[in-house]
Structure 1
Amino acid sequence: MIVLQVNDITKSFGADLILSNIKLEVQSKDRIALVGRNGAGKSTLLKIITGQMGYDSGDIIKPKQVSIGYLAQNTGLESSLSIWEEMLTVFKGLRKMEKELRALEEKMGNPSIYDNETEYQRILKEYDTLQVAFKEQGGYQYEADIRGVLHGLNFDDFDYNTPISTLSGGQKTRLALGKLLLTKPDILILDEPTNHLDIETMTWLEGYLQGYPGSLLLVSHDRYFLDKIVTKVYEISRTRTTKYDGNYSHYLEQKALRYEQELKEFEKQQKEVAKLEDFVQRNIARASTTKRAQSRRKQLERMTLRDRPQGDEKSASMSFAIDRQSGNDVLKVNDLAIGYDEEILATGLTFDLNRQESVALVGPNGIGKSTLLKAIVQGGTIISGDINFGSNVQIGYYDQEQANLTSNKTVLNELWDDFPLMQEKDIRSALGTFLFSGDDVLKNVRDLSGGEKARLALLKLRLKKANLLILDEPTNHLDLDSKEILEEALINYPGTILFVSHDRYFINRIATRVVELSEAGITNYLGDYDYFVEKKLEQEEIENLNRINNPVEHQAEQDSAKSDFEQSKQAKRLERQRLRKIEELELEIEQLEEVKAEKEAVLCEPEVFEDHEKVQKLNEELESLQQKLGSLMEEWEELQLELSE
């Protein structure tokens, strides 16, 4: 069944044509990816489909009963409710039915109802009908569904009574995704749903979406995610869509084959045209052959000429070289503890890095991966332990926050100031290979998009010619094409790489070893991401066998680990509650002090201090304020003391 049709949609912004004659069809249970470069119009098309943006021409056809749920990129959930209360709003209808069922049960529990058989039978029938509807619509499992989604989106450590307004932007985005998943629309449209998700959460989301009962339309730069989920790909390129069957990897293969086939057919036709034109030119004037030449000319006129197939749009040209090779031992980390302000994030970290290795550092969000990279590069986050570099090691560091880019400089000066000995023509040439040309080089860095800033940071890294690249989320903000170009450049890089990435496709292509950072420390896996996952599953199976074969011993270990985990979880929850309370107290104290200062100023006014009654009233109010301030300060000091213990 077709649940959505997009026919010949065209959209322009001023004189710029963004989409032209767009065609897209969604059937029941379809899993569709929308791919294309940054700026190709993917998000624009999603907004048009969901009615958030108008279009110039074309049609969108959707049956009335079909519901659409849409999560825009980086959309956070804004609400004054708590996490649990907000999730419950999805099930207003079920909760109303639940209240009606309780009310009917109360009526049936009243002994007087048996005096009126007709009324009793009517209530009983109403109750049965309502109970069946309640069960069919998931009334007995909606709370379990909420807990399942919150667990999958990594909210286990949160008190569900936490106000949403106190959460970070990334947490609000995850909650917006969770709320949308719980609504279960017929067509679920997600724009970059894996933003702000760690690998564990992305894996859960993949499993959830694979079993989703409706249709999916996705935009994502996570190619591993797309490979797991989608069965059709629509590519937007040069304002138009092209459909491919299969997942993302199959789309790449089909696209390459289609281009080769179309190019062969074009070249074959061009040879045929040249042959016919040559025959006409040589024979049209000769009486003996003019009829044959005229026949060939008519054949040419009837021929539908093919256009030369267009290859990929202009791409950045990326490569990384080194000035000199390092020694075989590049890096040794020994018994390292890292953190901030004496707060330890990870401890007991020991690992080596050898020349020409490409090592992926993985682990859950907040475990300390970026902090470890900063410890290696800058040293500021080291609490204890040693980091030693081998001979001739030169570090090139890519910061995911791009903090090294100065916002008030032009693109040209940002690069030139770092490499002052380069000629201007060489600087412009280097910028051109990374798609900065013409007036682009005169833009201020602060005005660049996330993708442009990422390309500029990568260009600075390339020009440094370091033999050890330390990369923190290098594929963030890059479109699919740029990611593939970066991968090829790093695969051919002759130096050593240590990187953090949530892009599992990228890890698979680049990594020769995976280092997992967990609460237990460092674990090495000699392979790519798929190998790492395989080994983790094997370890889980061994643990399951141990639990079956040695239940008492295993249970004791589990109980101990669970107890430690629960204690840690409870401590973190209490710490967050105390910090929130401290913030609330500080705000209240500040407001009371402002009120107190205003009243003291009024007390000094001549028309007030000459009036005995006004002075007495103000003094009473000031005394009350002072008592309240004293009480708040005592509470604030107690909380600060508890935090420091």
Structure 2
Amino acid sequence: MLLDVNISEKSFNNKSLIKDVKFSVNENEIIGIIGRNGVGKSTILSILTGKDSDYTGNIIKKKNLIMASSIQEYHSVKNKTVINFILNDLPNYANLKYKIEHLPEVMGDNLRLINEYTEALNKFHQNNFHFIEDKIIAELKDFGLENFQNKKMKELSGGQKRLVDVIKILHSSADIALLDEPTNFMDYQSKNIFLNWLKKSSGAKLIITHDRDVLMNVDKIIEIKDQKSYIFDGNYEHYLKVNTERTSGNIDDYQKKQAEKNNLADKLKNFQRMKEKARDPNTIKRFKRLENNAREKIAILDKTEKPSFWIDAESLNSLKNNQLANYDKFKAKNIKINTQYSSKDKSKRNFITINSLTAGYGKLEDALESKNNAKILFENLNFTVNTHSKIELFGLNGAGKTTLIKIILHSIFTDYPINSQIYDGYIKADRDIRVGLYSQEVSEDMFELELKEAVENIYKSQNLSITESKIRQLLAQYLFLEEDLATKVKDLSGGQKARLQLIKMLSTDPQLLILDEPTSHLDLPSIEELEKALLSFNGAIIYVSHDNIFRKKIGGEKIEIKY
């Protein structure tokens, strides 16, 4: 056993987050951690890494255990170069290198410092750190990131940042890797590299993820629900089956307890009536005793909190009619995505026309020779987006998918900023259409706003009316709690930021939705709700996604972005 986790209590902002989370991690075990947004998954990783010590419980680690961890967001490291980001976050590397470089200058014949230097040198050698930079540069090339070592992290796409994080962990020689949503924004090639590494590399992996492709490759799933942990041996397919069976049984148990409570309430009223009618003191005492017994049992049943019931949409088909009716009655609350737009125009009105479009960065003559950081991203692109189009933009990270989205937005909103150049062809857009955009990350200019202010800002910046009650209604619809309203956007979890993005995307009652990796950070029930909403949407959709299940469900015309 590498790790034994027992977190009996963890609170955040005076709110109880975790009450009973228990699990263990064995050597070379691959474990997926799932759960609704905001249940404390990332907090568990922070506790395991020692970043959060404000909890009750015990974490027992194997002696000399080496852990390496990824990060969920990269705003804090945006100005670091790729090579420095990797090296500085490797376990022991920065400390050992500092000792090797600086101790010779000060140790003289101090025996303690000489021993410290010798020990550091031996550990540096044991970890193969002498040629680590060359190895990382070679690894970057293997992962499709050649010559990226001196690029700043802010210059990378979302998927490229995730790959850099994986390379960092790959070189950490860790006994256990802690990964927080590692495949968010990865392209299909990067994800395949990651999945191959996941299956073939040594060491245990503890992965927070809602990527169903990843969950199909784990040995065990830990679900964090109702402040507790629930263990499912096997991969995602097995989880769905067992979850359906457990949930159906738990709903039956919960329904029986509710029926018992209602029955006791009826008996209580009857005992009270009988007591009031009785004249014999012993009879009055008997009904009083029965009344008190009923009250005690009701009080115990009242303390039983309603569990969170969720069954995936496909598994619902296996339920019997009475089971399905019970599930509909007791299922957990989910986000409600309202795609209200309904086109009355039966004709195929063209929203966007792209003809022989070639684009990139810098001057064309420099791009043709790949100098001065200029490059051609894609060429000879042709497609049309009409009233009911579904367009999937498909291609490797860095191919220009997000750049194309920015060019499309600039063609509709001329003040939308772009730093790319159109070298050939043209793009023509209907500037009267309403557009809803889901970006990979929340804009940093919203970070210091409180959540309530952010929603108000979203509407007012687009000259849309918004009231206090509308804001609260919207936030409740997307499962935000009263205490979340005063939370700054920068302090929201990845899942909460994703839900804020959905609010922003739908604020204009859009006719065209543009989605850049929309399933990243959303939990499994929210992803299903998004899929359902998009399938019922009557307008046009342009999307980028590397969630294979999502892509199959949404479908549409595939446009490959490449040079």
Q: Report if TM-score (shorter chain) is over 0.5.
A: yes
In the superposition, relative to structure 1, how do residues 79 and 15 fare at CA in structure 2: closer, same or farther (>3 Å)? closer
Deviations 1:290-341 (A, max 9, x none): 99x9999999989985935422665432121215345325444221122344
Per mean C-alpha deviation after superposition, the further-off stretch among 143-152 and 423-432 is: 143-152
Q: Which amino acid aligns with 1:237?
A: K
Q: Which amino acid aligns with 2:255?
A: E
In the superposition, relative to structure 1, how do residues 152 and 511 fare at CA in structure 2: closer, same or farther (>3 Å)? farther
Alpha-carbon distance, 1:361 to partner: 0.7
In the superposition, relative to structure 1, how do residues 64 and 319 fare at CA in structure 2: closer, same or farther (>3 Å)? same
> 469, 482, 489: which one pairs with 2:526?
482
Partner of 1:385: 425
Matches of 1:412 and 1:430 in 2, distance apart?
11
Matches of 1:29 and 1:253 in 2, distance apart?
25
Q: Does 1:328 align with 2:314?
A: no
Partner of 1:206: 195
Give the secondary-structure state (helix, strand or coil) at the position aligned to 2:248. Answer: helix
Partner of 2:47: 48
In the superposition, relative to structure 1, how do residues 3 and 476 fare at CA in structure 2: closer, same or farther (>3 Å)? closer
Partner of 1:153: 143
Partner of 1:471: 515
Larger radius of gyration: 1
Per mean C-alpha deviation after superposition, the further-off stretch among 51-60 and 485-494 is: 51-60
Per mean C-alpha deviation after superposition, the further-off stretch among 76-85 and 266-275 is: 76-85
Partner of 1:182: 171
Q: Does 1:372 align with 2:404?
A: yes
In the superposition, relative to structure 1, how do residues 342 and 217 fare at CA in structure 2: closer, same or farther (>3 Å)? same
Give the secondary-structure state (helix, strand or coil) at the position aligned to 2:33. Answer: strand
In the superposition, relative to structure 1, how do residues 314 and 179 fare at CA in structure 2: closer, same or farther (>3 Å)? same
Per mean C-alpha deviation after superposition, the further-off stretch among 297-306 and 184-193 is: 297-306
Task: Please say if residues 315 and 481 of structure 1, whose CA atoms lie closer than 8 Å, have aligned partners that are also in contact.
Answer: yes
Task: Please say if residues 9 and 21 of structure 1, whose CA atoms lie closer than 8 Å, have aligned partners that are also in contact.
Answer: yes
Partner of 2:555: 511
Partner of 1:561: none
Matches of 2:256 and 2:92 in 1, distance apart?
62
Partner of 1:349: 381
> 224, 235, 247: which one pairs with 1:236?
224
Alpha-carbon distance, 1:189 to partner: 1.9
Task: Please say if residues 343 and 538 of structure 2, whose CA atoms lie closer than 8 Å, have aligned partners that are also in contact.
Answer: no
In the superposition, relative to structure 1, how do residues 373 and 167 fare at CA in structure 2: closer, same or farther (>3 Å)? closer
Give the secondary-structure state (helix, strand or coil) at the position aligned to 1:258. Answer: helix
Task: Please say if residues 355 and 426 of structure 2, whose CA atoms lie closer than 8 Å, have aligned partners that are also in contact.
Answer: yes
Matches of 2:242 and 2:498 in 1, distance apart?
29
In the superposition, relative to structure 1, how do residues 297 and 253 fare at CA in structure 2: closer, same or farther (>3 Å)? farther
Partner of 2:68: 69
In the superposition, relative to structure 1, how do residues 325 and 451 fare at CA in structure 2: closer, same or farther (>3 Å)? farther
Larger relative contact order (C-alpha < 8 A, sep ≥ 6)? 2
- Give TM-score scaled by structure 1 length: 0.59
Partner of 1:522: none
Partner of 2:99: none
In the superposition, relative to structure 1, how do residues 383 and 83 fare at CA in structure 2: closer, same or farther (>3 Å)? same
In the superposition, relative to structure 1, how do residues 86 and 77 fare at CA in structure 2: closer, same or farther (>3 Å)? farther
Matches of 2:86 and 2:477 in 1, distance apart?
52
Q: Which amino acid aligns with 1:24?
A: F
Partner of 1:193: 182
Alpha-carbon distance, 1:254 to partner: 3.9
Q: Does 1:22 align with 2:24?
A: no
In the superposition, relative to structure 1, how do residues 78 and 62 fare at CA in structure 2: closer, same or farther (>3 Å)? farther
In the superposition, relative to structure 1, how do residues 83 and 433 fare at CA in structure 2: closer, same or farther (>3 Å)? closer
Partner of 1:608: none
Q: Does 1:311 align with 2:330?
A: no
Alpha-carbon distance, 1:24 to partner: 0.8
Matches of 1:205 and 1:447 in 2, distance apart?
28
Aligned length: 468
Give the secondary-structure state (helix, strand or coil) at the position aligned to 1:48. Answer: helix
Structural mapping, 1:391-540, within 5 Å = 394-402=434-442, 410-421=454-465, 425-426=469-470, 428-435=472-479, 451-519=495-563
Deviations 1:125-168 (A, max 9, x none): xxxxxxxxxxxx999x999986774344323x228xx5587995
Give the secondary-structure state (helix, strand or coil) at the position aligned to 2:360. Answer: strand
Give the secondary-structure state (helix, strand or coil) at the position aligned to 1:464. Answer: coil
Deviations 1:529-584 (A, max 9, x none): xxxxxxxxxxxxxxxxxxxxxxxxxxxxxxxxxxxxxxxxxxxxxxxxxxxxxxxx
Q: Does 1:358 align with 2:358?
A: no
Task: Please say if residues 360 and 499 of structure 1, whose CA atoms lie closer than 8 Å, have aligned partners that are also in contact.
Answer: yes
Give the secondary-structure state (helix, strand or coil) at the position aligned to 2:182. Answer: coil
Matches of 2:465 and 2:82 in 1, distance apart?
58
Between the aligned residues of both structures, percent identity stands at: 31
Alpha-carbon distance, 1:468 to partner: 2.1
Q: Which amino acid aligns with 1:11?
A: K
Q: Does 1:34 align with 2:33?
A: yes
Q: Which amino acid aligns with 2:341?
A: I
Give the secondary-structure state (helix, strand or coil) at the position aligned to 1:459. Answer: helix
Task: Please say if residues 411 and 445 of structure 1, whose CA atoms lie closer than 8 Å, have aligned partners that are also in contact.
Answer: no
Matches of 1:77 and 1:412 in 2, distance apart?
28
Alpha-carbon distance, 1:23 to partner: 0.5
Alpha-carbon distance, 1:373 to partner: 2.0
Task: Please say if residues 495 and 521 of structure 2, whose CA atoms lie closer than 8 Å, have aligned partners that are also in contact.
Answer: yes
Give the secondary-structure state (helix, strand or coil) at the position aligned to 1:335. Answer: strand
Matches of 1:311 and 1:384 in 2, distance apart?
54
Alpha-carbon distance, 1:363 to partner: 0.7
Alpha-carbon distance, 1:350 to partner: 1.2
Partner of 1:100: none
Q: Which amino acid aligns with 2:225?
A: S
Task: Please say if residues 221 and 480 of structure 1, whose CA atoms lie closer than 8 Å, have aligned partners that are also in contact.
Answer: yes
Give the secondary-structure state (helix, strand or coil) at the position aligned to 1:267. Answer: helix
Unmatched segments (≥5 aa) in structure 2: 94-126, 310-331, 365-375, 412-417
Per mean C-alpha deviation after superposition, the further-off stretch among 312-321 and 414-423 is: 414-423
Q: Which amino acid aligns with 1:496?
A: A
- Give TM-score scaled by structure 2 length: 0.67
Matches of 1:82 and 1:266 in 2, distance apart?
54
In the superposition, relative to structure 1, how do residues 154 and 298 fare at CA in structure 2: closer, same or farther (>3 Å)? same
Partner of 1:570: none
In the superposition, relative to structure 1, how do residues 422 and 191 fare at CA in structure 2: closer, same or farther (>3 Å)? closer
Matches of 1:446 and 1:515 in 2, distance apart?
34
Per mean C-alpha deviation after superposition, the further-off stretch among 204-213 and 347-356 is: 347-356
Q: Which amino acid aligns with 2:229?
A: T
Unmatched segments (≥5 aa) in structure 1: 93-136, 520-645
Give the secondary-structure state (helix, strand or coil) at the position aligned to 1:307. Answer: coil
Matches of 1:190 and 1:383 in 2, distance apart?
40
Matches of 1:58 and 1:90 in 2, distance apart?
25
